[in-house]
């Protein structure tokens, strides 16, 4: 384009410029010919000649140059008519329409934003040179992602009124796969061991899931860094990566990776010391130093020690403390002595704590979880604990913390928590399916963050073959400023056990209303503990079905009553040390509840239940997490086992209990050969959660389950099939849990390990729900 402009300029000087090449004149008027979109005043503002000035032949080149530089015109020429300067132009077309197609890796909105910043957008002047640069930049971006077969075509089509249609057609191609990885210069560790440390691998059985065989420059850089860490964590202080290259095959579908290394010699640690600003006593600091004299040098231990020392100073308010390492290398003995030099800086105070991206949740709801007070010394412990408490809110999926110095103040910081809220519907119609309860229909309002207040409101109506339920509950987690919670609940239900394949001889109607308080206890770092206490009123009426009533149900009804009324006094304790409420990765959640039932009417019985539930998360390696689950329950009458009501029995089997066995199918049978449940529950599971590389909303795991229910009643006295439950049942399998905007979905494939006669196998199990 520049060459074309200069050719036009030269032609004008040789031909058209001769009209006044030897004669200057005073420009009294300037006229433009060919302008369509631009006003004469706009174009004239770019010209180095103004009305009333003398135009000399030497200035004509400057006029042409300035007009071409605007980028508005394809052609410019000058002529004179008396004292009038006439400017002839041919405007460049504008972009009338911009279309982008074929892209998926690079989102359209991001691509459009970049194009707009480069002045490529609808209504802007079309510039072919800029489009060519964009094309090359896009190709380079795809090459960095390993897509060497990518193509970018720019198609420009004329439109009416001097406009053009610009079509950017992208063919992203496939990611090139790693065909071979060669490491040269290694002697201490073999090539296969080193390749296992890398983010890139050759194609294998599982790479269609892990995608580690798909090449990108970013993966190559991270792989090189992991090799460097592997050597330096094993004493090879002088290890170097001389080169790391990827050679693309002629068909652009594969790459060969060659890495050249220099290992050097292993080093051990000589002396270790701390120096600098000893705000914290030296003995306490040395306890945080992980590097020990005489051990093999490890860069990771050095980095971890720096973090621990930084954290120790940060807990005291010295947020800007700098911990540097001064190594003293003894080449002859292959030893390195380390000194951790600490510069504390000024003690920092928190000026303000703010929140961002909380579109549904009120600031005050988040602020009450923050342990770091404004205007007080900053503490990394309190800042991190505040982040954890935010993540334990059931409506917060992510929380990122940033600490920034206050401009103009060297002892103040501002803290911001950027949160990502979990989707929740104000009102919902529910359509679900469970293999225990079959089809579930319902409607209601169920908000764990009602109107952004952090309070929980539930209004639920549901209907299935097993149960009809109508309930309302409301929880205020901060009923008092001290964090005491209060929950109210009211429900009406009708249960038909036969709908779930258990005892079909009765149905029951129950009314329940109660209140429960949660009182924070303890000051344990990284954990929230509560004492729970409350009371509820229960009113239950049993309807017997003639000809189907079991001996167990008949005995209880004859000895007591069909209509019971009890006061349920609740006392419990809970502890939560998980790092987040949604898909935790570490920590535990435990609760222990005692329910004491006191009779309020004639024939009602006094009994109790004791229930424990626990989940323990432990990361083990590279996003793999071990999860252990336990559910234990026991119930009995205060005056003997015969006083424990059958409608409070525990059941086992199913996707929420022992996988692989049909829901509610384990345990003793009644006299009519139906599952009857029992007063003792034992259920546990060991799960290995593994990365799925598909979505952050999907969690996949393999598991081993064990569980059953047992009765302390002598069931043989009732005849029929009323026997004991037998041993614990075991199963193993794989499960996928998916969080969707329409509700959670759980799917499992499992295999019973010790199926007994009478057990019902169910290999494929699932539970789903949808909100529209």
Domain shared by 54 and 148, yes or no: no
Nearest CA to 706 among 628, 636, 643, 637? Answer: 628
- 150 and 246 assigned to the same domain: no
For 559-605, the pLDDT digits (tens) are 888 999 999 999 999 999 998 888 899 999 999 999 999 999 988 99
pLDDT per position as a tens digit, 281-293: 999 999 999 999 9
DSSP-derived pairing of the beta strands 680-690 and 624-637: antiparallel
Cα–Cα dist 556/262, whole Å: 81
**Closest alpha carbon to 436 in 743, 762, 696:** 762
CATH of the domain at 232: 3.10.20.310
Check whether residue 320 and residue 404 sit in a common domain.
Answer: no
Asked whether residue 83 falls in the same domain as residue 113, the answer is no
Do the beta carbons of residue 764 and residue 435 sit within 8 Å?
no
Q: What angle do CA 431, 432, 435 make, to 5 degrees?
A: 155
Q: How confident is the model at residue 435 (pLDDT cuts 50, 70, 90)?
A: low
Q: pLDDT tens digits, residue range 466-524?
A: 778 889 999 999 999 888 999 999 999 998 887 766 777 888 999 999 999 999 997 77
Tell me the pLDDT tens digit for each residue of 219-275: 999 999 999 999 999 999 999 999 999 999 999 999 999 999 999 999 999 999 999
Q: Which of 146-155, 297-306, 415-424 has the highest mean pLDDT?
A: 297-306
Q: Is the pLDDT of residue 3 over 70?
A: no
Domain edge (last residue) among 67, 91, 115: 91
pLDDT digits 0-9 by tens, 630-682: 999 999 998 877 789 988 999 998 888 899 898 888 888 888 888 888 899 99
Range with the largest mean pLDDT of 65-69, 138-142, 413-417, 688-692 = 413-417
pLDDT class of 10 with cuts at 50, 70, 90: very low
Q: Share the mean pLDDT of the chain.
A: 86
Q: What share of the chain is helix, strand, coil (3-state, %, to 5)?
A: 20, 45, 35
Residue 12: per-residue pLDDT: 44
- Report how many domains make up the chain: 6
Question: Looking only at Cα atoms, what is the longest distance across the chain?
Answer: 129
Res 767: pLDDT = 73
> Last residue of some domain: 421, 438, 464?
421
What does the pLDDT average to over 707-721?
A: 78
- Contacts of 308 by beta carbon, 8 Å cutoff, 6+ apart: 288, 289, 290
- What is the value of pTM for the model shown? 0.66
| Cα 234 to Cα 269: distance, rounded to the nearest angstrom | 11
Domain assignment of residue 715, given as a range: 428-771
What is the reported pLDDT for 414? 94
Report the phi/psi class of residue 341: left, alpha or beta, with left for phi > 0 and alpha for psi in -120 to 50: beta
Give CA–CA dist 725/123, Å, rounded: 77
Residue 295 DSSP symbol: S
Q: Judge if 277 and 337 occupy the same domain.
A: yes
- Give 107's pLDDT tier (boundaries 50, 70, 90): confident
Q: In this structure, what token pair is assigned to residue 434? A: 């469970």
Give the HSE-up count for residue 651: Cα atoms under 13 Å, Cβ half-sphere. 22
The model's pLDDT over 521-539, given as tens digits with 9 standing for 90+, comes to: 977 777 889 999 999 999 9
**H or E segment at 575?**
strand 563-576
* Cα dist from 217 to 214, 220, 426, 674, whole Å: 10, 5, 45, 63
Categorize the per-residue pLDDT at 17 as very low, low, confident or very high, splitting at 50, 70 and 90. Answer: very low
Return the percentage of the chain with pLDDT > 70, whole number.
91
Quote the tokens at residue 431.
Answer: 């359509």
Between residues 551 and 309, the one the model is more confident about: 309
Q: What is the CATH classification number for the domain harbouring 455? A: 2.40.160.50
* 296 and 227 housed in the same domain: no
The C-alpha atoms of residue 604 and residue 525 are separated, in whole angstroms, by 45
Q: Which of 209-213, 444-448, 745-749 tops mean pLDDT?
A: 745-749
Q: What is the mean predicted confidence (pLDDT) over 157-164? A: 86
- CB under 8 Å to 611, separation ≥6 — which residues? 591, 592, 593, 595, 631, 632, 633, 634
Shared domain check, 99 and 83: no
In sequence order, what E strands does 240-369 have?
Answer: 240-248, 254-262, 268-276, 322-330, 335-343, 349-356
Does 85 share its domain with 138?
no
Tell me which of 343, 369, 386 is where a domain ends: 343
One domain, residues 415 and 323: no
Which secondary-structure segment (H or E) carries 571?
A: strand 563-576
């Amino acid at each position: 384009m520049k060459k074309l402009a200069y050719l036009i300029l030269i032609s004008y000087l040789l031909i058209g410029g001769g009209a006044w090449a030897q004669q200057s004149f005073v420009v009294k008027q300037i006229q433009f010919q060919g302008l369509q979109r631009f006003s004469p005043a706009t174009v004239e503002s770019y010209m180095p000649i103004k009305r009333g000035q003398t135009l000399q032949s030497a200035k004509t080149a400057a006029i042409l140059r300035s007009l071409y530089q605007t980028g508005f015109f394809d052609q410019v020429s000058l002529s004179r008519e008396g004292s009038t300067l006439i400017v002839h132009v041919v405007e460049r077309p504008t972009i009338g329409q911009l279309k982008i197609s074929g892209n998926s890796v690079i989102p359209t909105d991001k691509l459009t934003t970049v194009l707009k910043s480069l002045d490529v957008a609808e209504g802007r002047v079309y510039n072919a040179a800029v489009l060519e640069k964009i094309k090359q930049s896009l190709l380079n971006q795809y090459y960095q992602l390993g897509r060497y077969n990518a193509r970018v075509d720019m198609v420009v089509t004329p439109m009416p009124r001097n406009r053009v249609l610009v079509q950017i057609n992208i063919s992203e191609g496939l990611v090139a796969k790693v065909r071979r990885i060669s490491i040269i210069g290694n002697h201490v560790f073999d090539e296969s061991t080193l390749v296992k440390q890398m983010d890139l691998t050759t194609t294998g059985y599982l790479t269609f899931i892990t995608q580690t065989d798909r090449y990108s420059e970013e993966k190559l850089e991270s792989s090189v860094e992991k090799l460097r860490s592997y050597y330096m964590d094993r004493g090879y202080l002088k290890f170097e990566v001389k080169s790391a290259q990827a050679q693309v095959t002629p068909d652009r579908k594969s790459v060969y990776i060659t890495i050249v290394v220099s290992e050097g010699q292993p080093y051990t640690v000589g002396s270790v010391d701390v120096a600098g600003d000893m705000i914290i006593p030296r003995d306490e600091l040395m306890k945080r130093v992980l590097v020990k004299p005489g051990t093999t040098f490890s860069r990771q231990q050095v980095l971890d020690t720096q973090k621990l020392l930084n954290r120790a100073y940060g807990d005291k308010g010295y947020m800007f403390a700098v911990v540097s390492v001064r190594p003293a290398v003894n080449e002859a003995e292959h030893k390195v002595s380390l000194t951790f030099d600490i510069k504390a800086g000024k003690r920092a105070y928190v000026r303000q704590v703010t929140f961002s991206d909380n579109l549904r949740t009120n600031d005050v709801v988040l602020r009450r979880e923050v342990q770091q007070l404004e205007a007080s010394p900053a503490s990394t412990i309190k800042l991190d604990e505040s982040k954890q408490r935010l993540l334990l809110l059931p409506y917060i999926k992510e929380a990122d913390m940033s600490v920034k110095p206050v401009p103009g103040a060297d002892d103040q910081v501002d803290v911001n928590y950027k949160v990502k809220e979990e989707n929740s519907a104000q009102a919902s119609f529910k359509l679900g399916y469970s293999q225990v309860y079959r089809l579930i229909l319902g409607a209601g309002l169920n908000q764990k963050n009602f109107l952004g207040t952090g309070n929980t409101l539930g209004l639920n109506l549901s209907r299935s073959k097993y149960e009809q339920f109508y309930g309302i509950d409301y929880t205020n987690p901060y009923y008092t400023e001290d964090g005491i919670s209060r929950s109210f609940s009211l429900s009406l239900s009708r249960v038909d056990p036969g709908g779930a394949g258990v005892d079909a001889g009765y149905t029951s109607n129950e009314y329940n209303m109660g209140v429960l308080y949660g009182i924070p206890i303890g000051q344990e770092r990284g954990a929230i503990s509560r004492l729970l206490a409350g009371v509820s009123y229960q009113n239950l009426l049993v309807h017997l079905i003639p000809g189907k009533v079991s001996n167990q149900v008949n005995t209880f009804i004859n000895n007591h009553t069909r209509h019971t009324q009890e006061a349920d006094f609740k006392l419990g304790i809970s502890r939560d040390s998980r790092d987040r409420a949604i898909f935790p990765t570490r920590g535990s959640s435990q609760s222990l509840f005692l329910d004491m039932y006191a009779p309020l009417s004639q024939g009602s019985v006094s009994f109790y239940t004791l229930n424990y539930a626990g989940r323990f998360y432990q990361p083990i390696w590279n996003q793999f997490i071990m999860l252990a689950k336990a559910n234990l329950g026991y119930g009995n009458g205060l005056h003997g086992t015969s006083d424990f009501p059958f409608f409070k029995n525990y059941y086992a089997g199913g996707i929420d209990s022992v996988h692989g066995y049909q829901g509610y199918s384990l345990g003793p049978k009644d006299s009519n050969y139906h599952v009857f449940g029992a007063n003792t529950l034992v259920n546990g599971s060991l799960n290995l959660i593994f990365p799925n590389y598909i979505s952050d909303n999907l969690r996949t795991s393999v598991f081993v389950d064990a569980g059953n229910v047992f009765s302390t009643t002598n069931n043989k006295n009732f005849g029929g099939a009323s026997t004991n439950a037998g041993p614990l049942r075991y199963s193993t399998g794989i499960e996928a849990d998916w969080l969707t905007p329409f509700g959670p979905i759980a799917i499992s494939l499992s295999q019973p390990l010790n199926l007994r006669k009478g057990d019902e196998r169910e290999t494929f199990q699932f539970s789903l729900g949808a909100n529209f």
